[in-house]
Amino acid sequence: MESILNIRNVSKIYQSAGRELTVLNNINFSIDTGSTVAITGPSGSGKTTLLGLCAGLDRASSGSVELSGVVLDKLTEDERAAVRNQYVGFIFQNFQLLPTLTALENVMVPLELRGAKNIKSHALELLDKVGLADRGHHYPVQLSGGEQQRVSLARAFSNRPALLFADEPTGNLDAETSEKIIKLLFDLNKDAGTTLVIVTHDPDLAARTNRVIKMKGGLIIADENPNYV
């Protein structure tokens, strides 16, 4: 099986008030192309930090990250951004929509960066998929948390990424909307072959993935394939 992500001896250490805080401690794993993976673990265990390093949003203190065959370690910020635009979608824990752009414009950004065609109609289609067809002209502050989360999803889907990272994508949603979002994620995996890496506290969602990686205190403490007997 080919892997789309290779993480080798990755550590992340923050300096704060003259002290070192080891947030990720020598992490190793690979993720198969086209698979679905859940990352679980208590608050503060390093899940969001790990996702950021895997997606090339941030740089490891040591170790190596290889994404779609590209080693990110020595790339400049701009080079990493280019790799992200080409391969990666990201749904942030706090959405990170651009406040000065409408919902529709937020979804259009990655398409514009890619130089895609029919950007507006494609973005409208994506908003429709997440149930927000009539909210395209609204700014993020005019949307509820769950609605912002869904715009963030539509934006992450827009360039049909090879690899989609989702940081608690259903964290703020009611059961029915959660189910819709989860279905969209898994449909993307099935139809476009998108590899999914999902941070979640939801055991039901984790159980639907091919593999569950459990973290605690900056370490991987378990790595399970619940669906593979």
Residue 149's binding partner among ligand ATP, Mg ion, none (Cβ under 5 to 8 angstroms by kind) is none
- CB 41 → ligand ATP: shortest distance, Å? 6
Q: Answer with the entry of Mg ion, ligand ATP, none that 23 interacts with (C-beta below 5 to 8 A by kind).
A: ligand ATP
Q: Which region, judged by CB under 5 A, interacts with Mg ion, from 26-34, 88-96, 190-198, 205-213?
A: 88-96
* Residue 16 binding target from ligand ATP, Mg ion, none, CB below 5 to 8 Å by type: ligand ATP
Instruction: Using CB positions, name the residue nearest to Mg ion.
Output: 48
Q: Which is nearer to ligand ATP, 92 or 104 (CB)?
A: 92
- Residue 69 Cβ, how far from ligand ATP at the closest point, in Å? 26
Nearer to ligand ATP, 44 or 226 (CB): 44
> Least distance in Å: CB of 150 to ligand ATP?
20
Query: For residues 12 and 129, which CB has a smaller minimum distance to ligand ATP in the complex?
Result: 12
Of 46-54, 138-146, 183-191, 200-208: span binding Mg ion (CB under 5 A): 46-54
C-alpha torsion angle, residues 205, 181, 175, 31 (rounded to 10): 10
**Distance between alpha carbon 183 and the CA centroid of its chain, in Å?**
16
CB 145: neighbour CB atoms within 10 A? 12
For ligand ATP, give the closer residue by CB, 208 or 214.
Answer: 214
List CB contacts of 18: < 8 A, sequence separation 6 or more. Answer: none
Residues near ligand ATP (CB under 6 A): 14, 16, 21, 23, 41, 43-49, 93
Provide the minimum distance between the beta carbon of 54 and Mg ion in the complex, in angstroms, as a whole number: 13
Which one of residues 35, 36, 48, 170 is an interface residue with Mg ion (CB under 5 A)? 48
Which residue number, 53 or 111, has a Cβ lying nearer to ligand ATP? 53
Residue by residue, DSSP assigns the chain as --EEEEEEEEEEEEEETTEEEEEEEEEEEEEETT-EEEEE--TTSSHHHHHHHHTTSS--SEEEEEETTEE-TT--HHHHHHHHHHHEEEE-TT----TTS-HHHHHHHHHHHHT-SSHHHHHHHHHHHTT-GGGTT--GGGS-HHHHHHHHHHHHHTT--SEEEEESTTTT--HHHHHHHHHHHHHHHHHH--EEEEE-S-HHHHHTSSEEEEEETTEEEEEE-TT--
Kindly list the residues in this chain that would bind Mg ion in the complex (CB under 5 A): 48, 93
